[in-house]
Every structure is written in C-alpha cells, then in structure tokens.
C-alpha cells in the first residue's frame, strides 16, 4: 500500500481496504495503480505503443468506419509505429554491430 493512501485511510479511521464500499474500493485501486507504477521506462513506452497499435488495427477492421476516422487511425498508427521505431532503433543498431564484430572475431 502506498504511504499516502495508508495515511488517508488512517485519517478516515478505516482499518482495512476490505471495509471500503465497492465504489471506494474501485477508486482506491485506481489510485494504488497510479501511485504504484513508478517512473516511466522505455519498456513501458514500448509496451504502451504496441498495445495502442493493436487497438488501432482492431478499429481499422471496422467496415462502418467513416473516411475521416480511417484517416485519423492511419495517422495514429504512423505516430505509434514511428515511436516504436525510435525506441527500437538503437537496440537493432547495437545488435547489428555486435553481430558484425563477432563475425570479424570468428573470421580472424
């Protein structure tokens, strides 16, 4: 439990999360999730972009989409795909360099 949430429960004289109403528990879980996530990492950004691409591709399968919606989905897809490329480019470049250097070492 995050320290701020613990203090809030103590201030309200709530001894256990189990004593919360369903609505209060839902709000508590949201707050716990936000506070518990920690700092943004490259892996979290990669996962987010990948999940958004999946959502966009799912929406693009809709046969009743308007032309405007499809155009926006294409723009969103390109943005998230570009972000993934930017995130993964250094890794791909490093892997290619490592492979090249290993080839030089085995051929020498």
Task: Dump pLDDT digits (tens) for 19-34.
Answer: 998 888 888 888 888 7
Q: What is the DSSP string of 13-32?
A: T---GGGS-HHHHHHHHHHH
Inter-CA distances, 99 with 8, 13, 19, 47, 102, Å = 54, 61, 58, 26, 5
Compute the C-alpha angle 16/38/27, nearest 5°: 40
Q: Taking residues 1-25, what's their average pLDDT?
A: 88
The pTM (predicted TM-score) of the whole model is: 0.57
Q: For residue range 26-72, what is the model confidence (pLDDT) as tens digits?
A: 888 888 887 877 788 888 899 989 999 999 999 999 999 999 999 99
């Amino acid at each position: 439990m995050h320290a701020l949430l613990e203090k809030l429960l103590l201030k309200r004289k709530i001894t256990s999360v189990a004593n919360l109403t369903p609505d209060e528990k839902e709000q508590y879980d949201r707050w716990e999730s936000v506070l518990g996530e920690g700092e943004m990492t490259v892996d979290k950004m990669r996962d987010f972009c990948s999940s958004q691409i999946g959502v966009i591709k799912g929406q693009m399968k809709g046969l009743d989409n308007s032309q405007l919606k499809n155009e926006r989905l294409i723009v969103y897809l390109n943005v998230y795909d570009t972000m993934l490329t930017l995130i993964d480019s250094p890794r791909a470049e490093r892997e290619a360099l490592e492979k090249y250097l290993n080839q030089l070492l085995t051929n020498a």
